[in-house]
Chains A and B, each alone.
Chain A
Amino acid sequence: MKSGMLRRAIIVSLNRIYQMQIDYWILGFSAVTVAVTIWMGFRSAKTSKSASDFFVAGRSVSVGWNASAISGEYLSAASFMGIAGMVMLSGYDALWYPVCYACGYLFLLLFIAGPLRRFGAYTIPDFAEGRYDSPVFRKIAVCFVLFIGFFYTMPQMKGAGTTLAYIFKGVDFRGTMFQFLAPLDDLGRMTPGIPYWFGVAIVGLVITLNVALGGMKGITLVQAVQYWIKMFAISVPIFVLLAVYGGYGKNLALNKSAMDTPPAVVQTVEPLKAERLALPDKAPKDEAWIAPFGPLTSKAAKAAGLSAEEAKPYSLLYTFSLIVALVCGTAGLPHILVRFYTNPDGVAAKKTTMWVMILIGVFYVFPPIFGVLGRNFLPELYAASGSKGPDKVVLELPVLIREKYGILGSILSGITCAGAFAAFMSTFSGLLVSMTSALAHDVYGRMLRPGSSAGERMRMFKWCAIGVGGISVLLGSVVEPLEINFMVGQAFAIAAASYFPLLFMSVWWRGMTMKGAATGMLTGGLCALFSATVVNASTLALDKGAMGRLFSPFAGINDFWKAHPLLRILAEQPAIWSVPLAIGLMIIVSKMTRRTVPADIRMKMLVLHAPEALGLKQEYIQEHQGPAH
């Protein structure tokens, strides 16, 4: 009897949920993206059999595919959703993010990509070990793959939670037997929609399984296709929206800056096609939004009660530190560097980098346009927070034209949802592969069980993928109140203070010793990690919902920030002091331990710098694997 009642309760509940309003165009586009990703993963799982297939995709990928794949992996939820949200929220200052994401690649190309490729180490830990002949250093270097990786997965997970919450906002669990799933508002009342963590868990599960079964060979193909999905999904809706609402410049002109004299603007600007909507109180004012040194960079100084003029030097410092973090951080991202080795030779690697810069540069012109249009036509997002705030402007904006053009609005919103899926899925799977390889290969294969067979390692890879995926979902569930783009910036800052100094100094200075490199990398990286964590904890403590209660012990830090705005800026953007700190320590400690410079340093430097045509690498490997083995 009991089971019969239960079954009826389930059927009634499902029936109610089924009758809710869901836009099936949006759901359909998203479902197709997910299905294609999974199908490609499984299909390539059949063809990738050997261990090296699994890890570096067999080293034979053409320039076009590889450039698309690198770009696909690089354009994360931060690029697709976060930048638009941040431009909408903070205005001009947020533009530094897309610019530095794209241009950081140049720095990588100029100083690091070529030498690292010639050296022939697959990953940063590989390089660390080979450059200093030190397995111990490898173990230290591996830690940061995980630190940076987890920091980078949190915003991807927020992207996932936000997108699913948007797609299923019409679902209503209230009054059904699933009402424990109904999300709570700030006052603890149940609301329609699905909970944020539910989306995080679903996406985490799907990708984890995909990576555990497919490995990286599948990922190369999937990443390349996903770049083009993302490019299509960000550009097509923008062209339509600009056609409806007027051009990029015209929409920017709606925001008056303090420098604009009103009569002059009226004369120069043509009659507008659409009037903007009124901004709520929570939104920043026009003149602060469109001008440099606005709400993003002056937040700490404003909280301390400084005037706009007094706050300006602080904002300049914030901007410089942000630039250093993003540009140097790009050069130290573990999951990006590994793809340089999938090029057949150095010339192909350089061509690939050029194409990557073009592909991602073109992409990054579009997200800020969403932010500008969102400010003018979706101002109600300013009033909401978490997964319902400006971070979803990319998804929500195309729906606006539904009133005029009917179904086209739904289709365009479906396309941007598909792009968002492609964004967080591709970056998350790339990170998962990096972190899982670090665990399966380095921690298990080298430290715990050096004698394990290839089959055992493959099995371990799968288990590690599941473990890392699980932790990512847990972390992702916590960070709903934080901005996607801000969190990615923190991952970059940690990379900038740890891997970037290691790579840069090891490639260009022969006097580096293992002890110097390790001291600098650990101190710089851990300092940046610590400051980022403290800032996040204090921000989460301000949240009005469940996370605010969870992190309430850290609320006191905010009083400290108010009294010390400079320290707040240096903690929020640590790169400006942590990168020089790491490099300085590297130099000092290396000088102190001068005697431990590797004996064959000249040969190592030759391998790093001499043209590949001279064949020095083969000679070097021969020496290293000489009679002793």
Chain B
Amino acid sequence: MGAGFLSLSQKLKNPTMSQPPPDQSDFIHSEKFLQELMKRQLKLSISCATAFAVLLFGLPLMNYLLPGLMAQRVGGFTLSWLILGVLFFPYVWIIARVFITRSMALEVDEVRHAAEGNHRQS
């Protein structure tokens, strides 16, 4: 759906909104900045994903290896049913909450970092 994309670019081409030509040699456009940026983001995403994957793939493994433990009754539920049917959801909310807070902090930090880098270079 290119309609929105085009209209946005047309707005930008409009002389009243045009900006000075960007300087491509500054710090923001450097290889170093991009690599650091992607590395930090990926690190955050992967650590959150690992916490998620441990339970996601660990639970079937537990069911497979320790069927006796997972069949223990907790208030009528089997332990395995209680984890999968109820407790899994809050666990994931916590991961999501942590990720969102940290990624917003990361963005603020990156903006500051980019400004400092540009300043140092000029």
Interchain CB contact under 8 A, B96 and A354: yes
Question: How many angstroms between the C-alpha atoms of A51 and B6 in the bound complex?
Answer: 13
Interchain CB contact under 8 A, A319 and B96: no
Interface residues of A in 591-619 (CB under 8 A from B): 602-603, 605-606, 609-614, 616, 618-619
Give the B interface residue count (CB, 8 A): 64
B122 to chain A: closest CB distance in Å?
A: 16
B86 (CB) vs chain A CBs: closest residue:
A365
The segment from A252-260, A375-383, A408-416 that touches chain B is A252-260
Question: How many angstroms between the C-alpha atoms of A107 and B51 in the bound complex?
Answer: 12
Check A139 for interface membership: any CB of B closer than 8 A.
no
Question: How many angstroms between the C-alpha atoms of A102 and B13 in the bound complex?
Answer: 42
Check A621 for interface membership: any CB of B closer than 8 A.
yes
Q: A interface, how many residues as a size bin?
A: 35 or more
Interchain CB contact under 8 A, A611 and B107: yes
B18 (CB) vs chain A CBs: closest residue:
A622
Task: Tell me which residues across on chain B come within 8 A of A316, comparing CB atoms.
Answer: 60-61, 64
Question: How many angstroms between the C-alpha atoms of A435 and B60 in the bound complex?
Answer: 36
Interchain CB contact under 8 A, A606 and B89: no
How many A-B residue pairs have C-beta atoms within 8 angstroms? Tell me. 194
Given A605-B38, A614-B111, A621-B9, check contact A52 B63 (CB 8 Å). no
Interface residues of B in 74-118 (CB under 8 A from A): 74-78, 80-81, 84-86, 88-90, 92-93, 95-97, 99-100, 103-104, 107-108, 110-111, 114
Given A95-B84, A354-B100, A624-B9, check contact A614 B28 (CB 8 Å). yes
Interchain CB contact under 8 A, A621 and B8: yes
Question: How many angstroms between the C-alpha atoms of A56 and B49 in the bound complex?
Answer: 30
Question: How many angstroms between the C-alpha atoms of A123 and B4 in the bound complex?
Answer: 11
Task: Tell me which residues across on chain B come within 8 A of A268, comparing CB atoms.
Answer: 73
Given A110-B49, A252-B81, check contact A293 B1 (CB 8 Å). no
Given A103-B88, A323-B56, A361-B93, check contact A252 B76 (CB 8 Å). yes
The segment from A3-11, A345-353, A391-399 that touches chain B is A345-353
Check B54 for interface membership: any CB of A closer than 8 A.
no
Interchain CB contact under 8 A, A123 and B1: yes
Interface residues of B in 1-31 (CB under 8 A from A): 1-5, 7-9, 12-13, 18-19, 22, 28-29, 31
1/0 per residue A362-406: CB within 8 Å of B? Answer: 101100100000000000000000000000000000000000000
Supplied contacts A508-B42, A625-B9, 15 more A-B pairs, CB within 8 Å: A55-B3, A92-B80, A99-B89, A103-B89, A120-B5, A252-B78, A253-B76, A319-B60, A353-B100, A357-B96, A362-B89, A605-B34, A621-B9, A622-B18, A625-B13
Q: 19 A–B contact pairs at CB < 8 A?
A: A52-B3, A92-B80, A95-B81, A99-B85, A106-B52, A106-B99, A111-B45, A111-B49, A126-B2, A249-B75, A250-B76, A269-B76, A292-B63, A292-B67, A323-B57, A353-B100, A603-B29, A605-B34, A606-B28
